[in-house]
Amino acid sequence: MDLTGNGALVTGGASGIGAAAVRRRAAAGARVAVADRDESAATALADEVGGIALTGDVADPERMPAHVAAAEEAFGRLDVVLLNAGVTAGQSGVVDLDLAGYRRIVGVNVDHVVFGLAAAVPALRRAGGGRVVATASLAGIVPMPGDALYTMTKHAVVGYVRAAAPVLAPDGIRVNAVCPGFADTPLIARAKPQFGDFPLLSAEDVVDAIEGVLERGEPGECWFVQPGREPGPYGFRGAPGPAGGAAPPKVSWSDH
C-alpha cells in the first residue's frame, strides 16, 4: 500500500501491537501520531517513524478530542484511527472487587473507545471518510473466566462497534474491531510463564489482521485472530426474534 499523505492515530502506540501498527503504517508512507502514557517511549517511536508523540490518559474525556485535534493539525487530515490502548483488571471482579481498578479498566478499555470514536468522526468526515479499528479481544466474543472484568469490557467494545458501524457507514466511515487471542505483548508479561507451550500470537500477527480489516473489512465486522489461522470476520449467530417473524423496529432514542 502507498499511504503517502495519509494521517493516522494509534492509541497505546508505544509498545506491543500499537508499536507494530505504527511502524507498519509509517513504512507505507502514512504520518502517524503515537499516543501513549509512556512519554519517553512515545517520543522515541515518533522520532523513529517521523511522526508525532501524544501523551496523557485516554480514559480522560478531554484526552481523545485533544489527540484527534493534534493529529489532524499536524498532518492536515486524519484517515485512520486505531483505538488500541487497553489494560487488564488484575482482579477477578467476581469474588473480589477493587473499585479503583474496576473504574480503571472500564475507563481505558471502554470509555476510551467511545471517546475516541466520537472525537474522530468529525475529522474523518472532513477527510471524506476513513477507518476506525478498535482492538478488542477474543474475550470480546467468548468468556474468559479468569478475568470477568476484562471479558465484560471487550464484549462492550464488540457490541459498540457492531452498533456504531451502520450509523457511520453512509458517511464513508468504516468501523471495525479485531479480536485477537493471547498475544506475546507487555499486556501478558506477568502471566506469560503460565502459558507454557501454548501458542501465542505475535504483535505482527495482529497487525496483519488489522491491515486486512482496513483493506477489505465490511462495516461492523469483528475479526478473530488466532495462531495458525487466517484472520477473518467472526460469524455472530442471530438472536431469535418474536414469534411470527415480525421485523424489529428501527428505533432512534435521540428522537425521544
- Catalytic residue IDs: 150
Nearest 5°: CA angle at 223, between 218 and 227? 145
Return the C-alpha cell found at 166: 451502520
Q: How many CB atoms lie within 10 A of CB 138?
A: 20
**Burial letters for 59-76: b for 16+ Cβ neighbours within 10 Å, e otherwise?**
beeebbbebbebbbeebe
d(CA 122, CA 72): 11
**Starting at the edge strand that comes first in sequence, how are the strands of the sheet with 232-233 ordered?**
52-54, 31-35, 7-11, 80-83, 130-135, 173-180, 222-225, 232-233
What is the rounded CA–CA span in Å between residue 5 and residue 39?
Answer: 25
Q: Are 9 and 81 in contact (CB under 8 A)?
A: yes
Residue type, 57: D
Which secondary-structure segment (H or E) carries 21?
A: helix 16-27
Strands 173-180 and 52-54 come out as unpaired
Q: Measuring CA to CA, how many Å separate 86 from each of 54, 78, 130, 172, 180?
A: 16, 22, 22, 27, 13
